[in-house]
Amino acid sequence: MANSPEEIQKAKKTYIWIFLALLVCTVVTVLVATQEWLDFGRHGFDHVDAIVGLAIATLKASLVGAIFMHLNHEKKSIYWIFFGAFVFALALFGLTAFAEFDPIFDPHFFGK
């Protein structure tokens, strides 16, 4: 917590810089999704663009959590909980990717 006017001004500057970083990341996300000159991978929105968008969203979520939610001052156990949730989310993304490479071709699901 900020207890002096100097600390409050320093915290204010940090919040302004984080706000500007979030604003720039939002603009970049929109540009990646809409502008052809920032198109990664094949023409149009594809998996590479989605990965870039998710990477930018992860950066933005990390900034919000660390600075605005003050998670950068938490105890170590909180970091382990968030790390476990992150690993679990990556595992779910991995399972989804494996399902893409091994689809179900059962007549029960698609009819005859």
Domain boundaries, the chain: 1-69, 74-103
Q: Check residue 38 and give its pLDDT.
A: 77
C-alpha separations of 41 from 37, 38, 50 in Å: 11, 10, 10
Task: Check whether 112 has a pLDDT greater than 60.
Answer: no
- pLDDT tens per residue across span 2-39: 678 888 888 889 899 999 999 999 999 888 878 888 77
- Torsion sign over Cα 20, 60, 64, 3: negative
- pLDDT tens per residue across span 44-80: 777 787 888 888 998 999 889 888 887 777 787 877 8
Q: Check residue 110 and give its pLDDT.
A: 64
Helix (H) or strand (E) holding 30: helix 5-34
Residues 6+ apart with CB under 8 A from 55: none
pTM (whole model) above 0.85 = no
Q: Check residue 42 and give its pLDDT.
A: 73
pLDDT bin (cut points 50, 70, 90) of residue 103 is low
Q: Check residue 88 and give its pLDDT.
A: 94
Residue 47 token pair: 């998996």
